[in-house]
Amino acid sequence: MGATRRHFLEMAGAVALASAAAGTAISQTRTGGSPVVKPPRLKPGDTVGLIDPASATFESVKIEVAVEVIEALGLKARPAPHLADRYGYLAGKDEDRAHDVNQLFADPTVNAVMALRGGWGCARLLPQLDFATIAKNPKILIGYSDLTALLLPVHARTGLITFHGPMAGSTWNSFNLDCFKRVLFGAEAVTFENVHEIKDTLVQTENRIQTITPGVARGRLLGGNLTVLAGIVGTGYLPDFSGAILFIEEVEENIYRVDRLLTQLALAGILGRLRGVVFGNCTKCLPGEGYGALTLEEVLRDHIKPLNVPAWSGAMIGHIDRQFTIPEGLDVEIDASKGTITMLEPAVA
């Protein structure tokens, strides 16, 4: 028996035992067949562990606001021991940031783990994360941007559904709050769809979608920040993308770099295994210097259109004020003409 196969069986056994004890739901994905673990839903009064696993937070007031956000959600905040640490541009030494994640998952009084912010640094923690402990103590893990390097590996190694969504330091407007509560408190099977609003512009000009390839598809929803995802390709920390629905977003990358990152996913064999693609927002993605450039629309057409799978761009995912709370690893159905992502079941137990 190979080491990878043995590791999977050991982890699956740990997940099953822990989930049975905690009342956590285990199901089989319709697209992958690997165990999927749903964390318990949030309830008023639950405790949320607050972590800073990537870049440092330099102003203490931002930590104060993050704690108040959690409390305003009707929850209790548990700041991680090293939350306010700083090591250069990182929020403390790698071993300390990893310890915070491991400790909060091991603590039975903590019901969820939420990031304060992203930046860079989550991938540095992966060798020091205790995936066995995480598997035995399934709970909500949420964040976005650099948190892609935690959300996908945790799902890959434990089967736990993780969540790409607002962080404690994000903008908590009514849209974000409603989506967050419906998915994580209400245990709803939500249909994600861009808001339809016409301001003083005669027709809708914001939050529009563009269909790349029409059609409907079902698959396991996986993805996150494009740069971060591409950065851990080949490391053994990514889930299998066969039959998946890939969602990606980006921020402050020149368009040629987006082209390069998508080329990396194509050459790594990820794009060719997908059943669908949802491109979110590419915030502040500019052409860069030079005499000519492809547009983002052209880059997506070059890479996504030849896949011949349902795909669209413009979903409310990414570095934007209003964003969905997306379940990583859950089966969904997408409609590329309508621009919808429909959860086929709740993501929490």
Residues catalogued as catalytic: 145, 249, 319
Instruction: Evaluate whether 52 touches 58 at the Cβ level (below 8 Å).
Output: no
The position carrying tokens 């066969």 is 242
Per the document, the length of the chain is 349
- Full DSSP string of 114-159: EES--SS-GGGGGGG--HHHHHHS--EEEE-GGGHHHHHHHHHHH-
State how far the Cα of 240 lies from the Cα of 222, in Å rounded to an integer: 9
Cα 133–chain centre separation? 21
- Residue with token string 């930590």: 63
Tokens of 180: 């967050």
* Cβ-proximal residues to 305 (8 Å cutoff; 6+ apart), any chain: 212, 213, 311
